[in-house]
């Protein structure tokens, strides 16, 4: 009898296993197929196309392309630095708030994201343009005699991108500061470290995973930025994504365009790889949720 029931239960188990396998396929199948078809396959085609001809050699040896690559890196690094310096204090402040007030501040923080990105970027014209707010003020107090050119500079791109990336910097840092055990802070004070030393010895080092997440997200978004450099930088200040678009749509140079795209993808993946080695991608999920 026991034998019988065992074979019965094993049959049932196999059936259940098959059912759960089918369930898994039904659940992730469509999404997976979509990604393979529209992301993986084009990516492979891109890589193959980029290898035809001496595209990479051409990019490295041509000053224009080198400049664009360097500008993209420079802008991304600057955006990271400014976002970090501006975002860390906000994240820290946020983590120390009581939970009700915190919700209000988070909503305020995310509010700009509800406004179309294009509109937000164009609105910088009213701030930085030759008849914009900044020039108006500077002329008004007599610091300058003629309008300063703020638009269509690298600085304008950095400014616009920082405005975009700040929430991506603030939220992971906030999340890691908020998770620090308050006992550690108190312990540090108990052992004789004042507020500043406690921040340096305990809070900041323990918030580094959040800083790393923020820096990674900020770097990736600004390195591959398209709209901001296109609008605030203009053709003279093109970044890598703008160049890709130009190569594909205007110059119809597909081998060079694909090579440029591959460089963009490799740098991005490289950063994610380093992040995963040092901090761990699972930490990113933790930080975002």
Interface positions with other proteins (CB under 8 A) = 181, 183-184, 186-194, 197-198, 201-202, 205-206
Q: How far is the CB of 198 from other proteins (least distance, A)?
A: 8
Q: How far is the CB of 204 from other proteins (least distance, A)?
A: 10
d(CA 240, CA 207): 32
Closest to other proteins by CB, 183 vs 236, is: 183
Residues 6+ apart with CB under 8 A from 162: 79, 82, 83, 86
Closest to other proteins by CB, 206 vs 272, is: 206
Burial class (CB in 10 A: 0-12, 13-18, 19+), 30: exposed
Q: How far is the CB of 88 from other proteins (least distance, A)?
A: 18
Q: How far is the CB of 206 from other proteins (least distance, A)?
A: 6
Q: Are 112 and 195 in contact (CB under 8 A)?
A: no
Closest to other proteins by CB, 173 vs 256, is: 173
Residue owning tokens 């749509």: 249
CA atoms within 13 A of residue 187's CA, in its CB half-sphere: 8
- CA 38, distance to chain mean position in Å, is 22
Strand, coil or helix: 234: coil
Q: How far is the CB of 184 from other proteins (least distance, A)?
A: 5
Closest to other proteins by CB, 60 vs 187, is: 187
Closest to other proteins by CB, 146 vs 183, is: 183
């Amino acid at each position: 009898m026991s034998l019988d029931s065992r074979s019965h239960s094993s049959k049932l188990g196999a059936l259940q296993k098959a059912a759960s396998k089918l369930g898994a396929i039904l659940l992730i199948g469509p999404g997976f197929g979509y990604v393979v078809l529209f992301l993986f396959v084009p990516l492979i085609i891109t890589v193959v196309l980029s290898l035809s001809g001496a595209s990479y050699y051409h990019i490295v040896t041509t000053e224009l392309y080198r400049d664009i690559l360097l500008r993209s890196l420079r802008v991304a690094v600057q955006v990271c630095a400014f976002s970090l310096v501006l975002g860390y204090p906000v994240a820290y402040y946020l983590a120390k708030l009581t939970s009700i007030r915190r919700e209000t501040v988070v909503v305020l923080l995310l509010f700009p994201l509800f406004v179309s990105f294009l509109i937000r970027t164009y609105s910088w014209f009213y701030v930085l343009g030759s008849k914009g707010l900044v020039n108006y003020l500077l002329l008004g107090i007599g610091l300058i005699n003629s309008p300063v050119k703020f638009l269509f500079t690298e600085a304008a791109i950095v400014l616009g991108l920082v405005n975009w990336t700040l929430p991506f910097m603030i939220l992971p840092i906030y999340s890691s500061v908020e998770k620090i055990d308050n006992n550690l802070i108190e312990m540090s004070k108990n052992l004789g470290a004042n507020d500043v030393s406690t921040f340096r010895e305990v809070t900041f080092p323990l918030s580094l995973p959040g800083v790393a997440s923020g820096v990674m997200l900020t770097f990736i978004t600004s390195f591959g930025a398209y709209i901001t450099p296109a609008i605030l930088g203009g053709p003279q200040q093109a970044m890598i994504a703008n160049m890709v678009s130009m190569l594909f749509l205007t110059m119809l140079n597909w081998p060079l365009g694909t090579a440029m795209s591959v460089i963009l993808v490799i740098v991005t993946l490289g950063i994610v790889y380093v992040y995963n080695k040092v901090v761990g991608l699972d930490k990113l999920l933790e930080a975002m949720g």
